[in-house]
Amino acid sequence: MPGIVVIGTQWGDEGKGKATDQLGDRVDYTVRYSGGNNAGHTLVVNGEKYALHLLPSGILNPGVPVIGNGVVVDLGVLFSEIDALEARGIDTSRLVISANAHIIAPYHKVLDKVTERFLGKRKIGTTGRGVGPAYADKINRVGIRIQDLLDEELLRDKVEAALAAKNQSLVKIYNQLAIDPREVADELLSYADRVRPMVRDVARELNDALDEGKLVVFEGAQAHHLDVDHGTYPYVTSSNPIAAGACTGSGVGPTRLDRIVGIAKAYTTRVG
């Protein structure tokens, strides 16, 4: 069975989630490979409406829903979505999260909002959810990853190191209060026990699944024209929602992708 990528070919809201959901119970793995909770899918299943921002739409089907390493994860949002689905009788216990996925920390959201205000009329139009700053930390090699939650001492060291420079900027440039690294670490660690059973080596698991002939769908978030490299820069997102992003955002090679499905709508609108 193939690896299939479903992407948006415009600026989002083309119906990617619906297209993925139509594959239904034939899919063994549904992989979200980019973006954060600045994106999302709205699905209607048996007359019930579901709005998902971090969880792959495959969470509503029998296969394994996967959050890949290319996603930045706001843990509060993630567990709010999980709790909301569980309250409606949806089993979320199959969810798998890459150990290498980066975390949106509380200070990312603070920085996102204050820097956008500082830009004034030159602002980008960010959602203020910390996605851009989390990706910036990833590239600057000071990011916090899912696996760091499993080592308290390491996590506290990383948070303190990340905030050393950020607090200088918040106080001296943006006239904001400094953020206490201990409070940030405590908040992140409060999710550790819930996250632990979900953490996997996603790249290995997906490659093994493809070797076994299983059907793996890579579910795009946002769309081609919002790609940080190939979109309408600088009015783009901070990741690669194009088909190639499925490889870097999940850990499978390009030869594992058998089909790319681009979703378009008859009229073009720009989301956000």
Owning domain of residue 176: 102-193
- 272 within a domain of the structure (yes/no): no
Q: Are 184 and 111 members of one domain? A: yes
The closest alpha carbon to 220, from 191, 200, 247, belongs to 247
- In the listed set 157, 176, 193, which residue is the last one of a domain according to the structure? 193
Q: Are 238 and 167 members of one domain? A: no
- 269 within a domain of the structure (yes/no): no
Q: How many domains does the chain have?
A: 2
Q: Are 171 and 230 members of one domain? A: no
Q: Please give the positions annotated as active site.
A: 13, 41
- 271 within a domain of the structure (yes/no): no
- In the listed set 144, 178, 193, which residue is the last one of a domain according to the structure? 193
Q: Are 82 and 204 members of one domain? A: yes
Q: Are 88 and 206 members of one domain? A: yes
Q: Are 67 and 120 members of one domain? A: no
Q: Are 240 and 112 members of one domain? A: no
Q: What is the CATH number of the domain that holds 150?
A: 1.10.300.10
Q: Are 9 and 96 members of one domain? A: yes
Task: Tell me what pLDDT residue 41 has.
Answer: 73
Q: What is the CATH number of the domain that holds 57?
A: 3.40.440.10
pTM of the full predicted structure? 0.93
- 268 within a domain of the structure (yes/no): no
Query: In order along the chain (272 residues), what is the average pLDDT of each group of 10 residues?
Result: 90 82 83 88 77 87 94 96 94 96 96 78 70 94 97 97 93 92 97 97 97 94 93 91 96 95 88 62
- In the listed set 157, 173, 193, which residue is the last one of a domain according to the structure? 193
Task: Tell me what pLDDT residue 260 has.
Answer: 95
